[in-house]
Amino acid sequence: MKSPAQDGLPTGHPGVADAEAALRCIAGLPAPAGLEVRIKSTLEAAPHAGKVLSWPAAAFSSGWVARPLLRGAAAAAIVLVVVGGGWGIFRKAQPARTPSAVLMPPRLAAPGGFSSAGAMRTPQTLIAPRVSQPVAASVKPLVAPKSLPRAKKAVSRQKIQNSEYARPKD
Amino acid sequence: MHDQARQHADESALAALVDEYASMLYRVAYSVLRNAADAEDAVQEAFLRVLRHRATLHEVRDQRVWLIRIVWNIVLDRKRRARTRPETDDIAELGRVLPAHGLNAEERAAAAQHHAGVLAQVEMLPAKEREVLVLSAFEELTSVEIAEVLDITESSVRSRLFRARNLMADLLQHPRSLR
């Protein structure tokens, strides 16, 4: 770039021009002798990068390697092998399918000490009738009415519910 | 056969680049690293990168600026990873490489000390302004080319250079210690 006096930008403090002169002096220092020779020798010794597969030099002179079509076919075969192997691994690594049937947890035994023998635990929603004494002959067995009208059916239902057969005795 | 011919052509082109630009690249690297061995390593690394991408060499519009940009990024990266360079190293190095120009040993030592002091003040500038100031010292580079090396606009180069000079003036008027 041009010196501060030439590029049109103000230099301000005179020391700035002096500092930039020092920078120009450093920028103009000569390179060490033999630099180009050393760099070229380094470049010649460096491996030549470029191709992923470095085919042996002898194969280029003759043989099937020299034909680009066959080389392309070989490359395609390699790709197929890699993809096929990857697909096989992918299939094996698939997570197990969810079972069609769900295994239910074992049923809990009913409280009371006796084994349930695999029976379901019946929740205590119904209060079964308790029979504390044998049924007397004087007590008429309750017979469900056969064909009563609706109102009478409701009354008879209430009677059944309120009878001694429905209420638990302490 | 065709590949060999192309490889030979690429190598010839690369050798021509080395002959033409190695010296300038070295000076660019030295202006930042201020060590001859490090600067030469940086230039070699730059050409090794060019070797890896030699197939695309013909696509580069301005090879000189392209090479400077490569070496510039290399030296900035090295400088970032290296420890802060003491001023005494600069004095010793500059005393060794500064041309005599009819100066005696005492005058050369004084010049080296002066230049090392300037470099120490330049180091105190913010990175953006410092980089523009250092690159502007190269006569071969225009503001457009500096903008291309730094990947900024030309107007940014001029504004940063203006700011760098103002900051330098402030540092010279109010000298501060490095630590």
pLDDT tens-digit profile of A97-137? 666 666 666 656 556 666 657 666 656 665 556 555 555 55
pLDDT at residue B151 tops 80: yes
Mutation pick from A20, A26, A35 vs chain B, by most beta carbons of B within 10 Å, is A26
The continuous run of DSSP H or E covering A107 comes out as: none
The rounded mean pLDDT for chain A is 68
Q: Of the given ranges (A38-47, A143-152, B59-68, B138-147), which has the lowest mean pLDDT?
A: A143-152
Cα of A6 to nearest chain B Cα, Å: 11
Instruction: Report which of residues A23 and A139 the model is more confident about.
Output: A23
**CB spacing of A39 vs B44 below 8 angstroms:** yes
What percentage of chain B has pLDDT greater than the value 90? 50
Instruction: Report which of residues A14 and A113 the model is more confident about.
Output: A14
How many of the other CB atoms lie within 10 Å of CB of B40? Answer: 22
**CB spacing of B135 vs A36 below 8 angstroms:** no
How many of the other CB atoms lie within 10 Å of CB of B10? Answer: 17
pLDDT at residue A89 tops 90: no
Write down the pLDDT at residue B143.
94
Write down the pLDDT at residue A51.
45
pLDDT at residue B109 tops 50: yes
Write down the pLDDT at residue A170.
46
Closest chain A residue to B142, measured at CA: A1
What is the distance between the alpha carbons of residues B118 and B107, in angstroms, rounded to a whole number? 17
The rounded mean pLDDT for chain B is 86
| A9 interaction partners in chain B (CB closer than 8 Å) | 158, 161-162, 165
What percentage of chain B has pLDDT greater than the value 70? 88
CB-nearest partner of B168 from A19, A36, A39: A19
Mean pLDDT of A19-43: 91
**CB spacing of A16 vs B141 below 8 angstroms:** no
What is the distance between the alpha carbons of residues A8 and A4, in angstroms, rounded to a whole number? 7
Of B156, B143, B131, nearest to B76 by C-alpha is B131
Highest mean pLDDT among A10-24, B90-104, B111-125, B158-172: B158-172
The b/e string for A47-86 (b: 16+ C-beta within 10 A; e otherwise) is eeeeeeeeeeeeeeeeeeeeeeeeeeeeeeeeeeeeeeee
CB-nearest partner of B115 from A25, A48, A50: A25
Instruction: Report which of residues A151 and A72 the model is more confident about.
Output: A72
Which residues in A have their CB inside 8 Å of a CB on B? Answer: 1-2, 4, 7, 9-13, 15-16, 18-20, 22-32, 35-36, 38-40, 42-43, 46, 48-50, 60
Look at the block and give the residue holding tokens 């050409």.
Answer: B47
Mean pLDDT of B8-36: 91
pLDDT at residue A63 tops 80: no
Is residue B34 helix, strand or coil? coil
What is the distance between the alpha carbons of residues B16 and A114, in angstroms, rounded to a whole number? 101
Stated length of chain B: 179
pLDDT at residue A47 tops 70: yes
Closest chain B residue to A58, measured at CA: B1
Contact A66, A59 (CB under 8 A): yes
How many of the other CB atoms lie within 10 Å of CB of B85? Answer: 16
What is the distance between the alpha carbons of residues B134 and A24, in angstroms, rounded to a whole number? 8
Mean pLDDT of B147-168: 95
Percent helix, percent strand, percent coil in chain B, to nearest 5: 80, 0, 20
Q: Which of residues 82-121 of B touch A (CB under 8 A)?
A: 94, 97-99, 114-115, 118-119, 121
Six-digit token pair at A62? 């003759």
Instruction: Report which of residues A6 and B42 the model is more confident about.
Output: B42
Instruction: Report which of residues A146 and A35 the model is more confident about.
Output: A35
Contact B146, B133 (CB under 8 A): no
Mean pLDDT of A80-88: 88
Mean pLDDT of B88-100: 69
